[in-house]
């Protein structure tokens, strides 16, 4: 890093090639230490080299991402407004979580999901994952009995997710399977007849989809489908009796 600002001041005063050399010099500064990056960016601001500053932030983001510091990498991509790379990261995150919806796998990426926010990503992937996170949190509170409203809020999240076209089909069964314990532990039906029918129809669609060669498996127990069908059938019977 520059010991003083003599070199930048001298180069910026050279009319012909000074600024070009200054840009090259700035781009060659170390990006491993965030403090040094901030000093370099301050010089970019001082000499009105905004494009150079943006490129430095992108380079810093790539460096930290490559070396496993995902959060720092995302931070610099956000500072650079690098939508292309942020979209790519969002899609990778969506695909990795989608391969296994186990709690441990989701928690591994939850911090990065928070950092990215919900307004990034293609095909609604990040929007879905944020909704899925809200569902999981609400479900945990409901099963722990923290609040009386948590159970109803959880099934509302479930219905919203199952109705939302951005929810991938491979998540349908994990969502429903996650809800089985909640549906079974309440004496009164948590879903009304219309809601239960909606979920049963989704389950039927899923049963048909499993026959296709391109169906994506989700590593759930073999009895998951029958457990969900039994829980929804029981809920439907109680809902019909209550609404009658």
96-126 pLDDT, tens digit per residue, is: 766 555 566 667 677 777 777 765 544 456 6
**CA 93 – CA 125 distance, rounded (Å):** 9
d(CA 9, CA 70): 35
Sequence spans of domains, the chain: 5-81, 86-243
pLDDT of residue 214: 56
Residue 193 binned pLDDT confidence (cut-offs 50, 70, 90): very high
Q: Summarize pLDDT for 125-165 with one digit per residue, the tens.
A: 667 878 888 898 899 888 887 666 888 899 999 999 999 88
Question: What is the pTM assigned to this prediction?
Answer: 0.65
The CA distances from residue 90 to 51, 74, 122, in Å, are: 25, 10, 8
At 3 the pLDDT is: 47
What pLDDT does residue 115 have? 78
How many residues belong to the chain? Answer: 244
Q: Which residues contact 96 (CB under 8 A, 6 or more apart)?
A: 105, 109
């Amino acid at each position: 890093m520059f010991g003083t600002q003599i070199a930048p001041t001298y180069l910026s005063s050279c009319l012909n090639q000074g600024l070009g050399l200054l840009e090259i010099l700035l781009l060659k500064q170390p990006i491993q230490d965030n403090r040094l990056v901030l000093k370099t960016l301050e010089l970019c601001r001082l000499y009105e080299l905004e494009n150079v500053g943006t490129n430095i932030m992108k380079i810093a983001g790539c460096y930290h991402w490559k070396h496993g510091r995902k959060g720092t990498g995302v931070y610099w991509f956000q500072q650079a407004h690098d939508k292309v790379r942020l979209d790519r990261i969002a899609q990778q995150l969506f695909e990795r979580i989608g391969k296994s919806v186990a709690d441990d796998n989701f928690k591994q990426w939850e911090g990065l999901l928070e950092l990215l926010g919900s307004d990034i990503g293609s095909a609604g992937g990040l929007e879905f994952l944020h909704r899925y996170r809200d569902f999981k949190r609400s479900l945990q509170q409901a099963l722990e009995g923290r609040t009386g409203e948590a159970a109803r809020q959880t099934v509302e999240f479930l219905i919203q997710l199952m109705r939302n076209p951005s929810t991938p089909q491979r998540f349908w069964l994990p969502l429903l399977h996650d809800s089985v314990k909640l549906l079974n532990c309440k004496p009164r039906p948590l879903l009304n007849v219309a809601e239960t029918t909606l979920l049963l129809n989704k389950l039927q669609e899923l049963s048909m989809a499993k026959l296709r060669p391109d169906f994506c498996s989700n590593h759930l127990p073999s009895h998951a489908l029958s457990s969900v069908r039994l829980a929804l059938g029981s809920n439907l019977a109680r809902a019909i009796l209550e609404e009658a």
